[in-house]
A and B are shown apart, each in its own frame.
Chain A
Amino acid sequence: SQQPDTKSLAKQMHEAYLKHFHMNKAKARVFLTGKTSTPPFVIHDMDTLQHAEQKLITQLLGNMASGDVSTLREREVEARLFLFCQYASVATVTELTEFAKAVPGFAALDLNDQVTLLKYGVYEALFALLASCMNKDGLLVAHGGGFITREFLKSLRKPFSDMMEPKFQFAMRFNALELDDSDLALFVAAIICCGDRPGLSDVSQIERIQESIIHVLRLHLLSNHPDNTLLFPKLLQKLADLRQLVTEHAELVQDINKTEDASLHPLLQEIYRDMY
């Protein structure tokens, strides 16, 4: 197959990224810097959370079965927030799947390999994308309609209080690199097309796709950030950080699943099962 040149692959990935992800860094920054006519509703304690649930429930849980919504109201706040996180994750996994199909060569891979790449890649990609919705004080939620403070998330009871803080710490380091959406599109594609996931059958084909993305990423970063020549190696280091973040996250979720009365969405069960 014909190898697309650097600029066209970067452009293609950027367009697919803007098409498939409902939130992106440029949009999120508008909300986070207060440049919208309707600023996000700030959730910083139980009262504001309850108020937000009334206001945002249709946005947060637009696709949720009505039975789930009614039982949700009777559950404790930590369990409700855990469920919100799950639904947001499911939506992002769906978006990531569509984005992956737009990566040249991905859709032609063996279907089992596509599944494996998504299984291991989606949470790493999700946490890289989540950083766009974070600043040091909190996290943008519900398509920019709400902002949950970092302190409130830390104040939840254990183990739920341990859920988001490592993601904030990663996000602060990651956001310091000042990537834009065109950089992130290639970075997410590189996360997904990774030749060393367990159980892949056609490693060499995936490595060829990965090499081509990494090559384009390096050249794109040099032209998009000419003053930061170390950006590419710094970004490669983040791949290892993301893997560690996902390993710890998977352990925490499995722990919550065992010890708490919190069921896990079937799609997320598929991803976490026998992961690491």
Chain B
Amino acid sequence: LKEKHKILHRLLQNSSSPVDL
């Protein structure tokens, strides 16, 4: 699941990290 959802994982783990648009 982690491999397939890297951005969702990142968003969940790091509140200050914006999505890399």
Residues of A within 8 A of B (CB): 63-65, 87, 90, 93-94, 97-98, 101, 111-112, 114-116, 118-119, 199, 265-267, 270-271, 273-274
**Which of B7, B12, B13, B21 touches A270 (beta carbons < 8 Å)?**
B7
Total A-B residue pairs with C-beta atoms closer than 8 Å? 50
B-side interface size class: 10 to 19
CA distance A112 to B12 in the complex (A): 10
Chain B residue with Cβ nearest A109:
B12
Flag if A115 contacts B5 (CB, 8 Å). yes
CA distance A265 to B1 in the complex (A): 18
> In the assembled complex, which residues on chain B have CB atoms less than 8 Å from the CB atom of A267?
7-8, 19
Residues of B within 8 A of A (CB): 1-2, 4-9, 11-13, 15, 18-19, 21
| A125 CB, min distance to chain B CBs, angstroms | 14
> In the assembled complex, which residues on chain A have CB atoms less than 8 Å from the CB atom of B4?
270, 273-274
> In the assembled complex, which residues on chain B have CB atoms less than 8 Å from the CB atom of A119?
5, 8
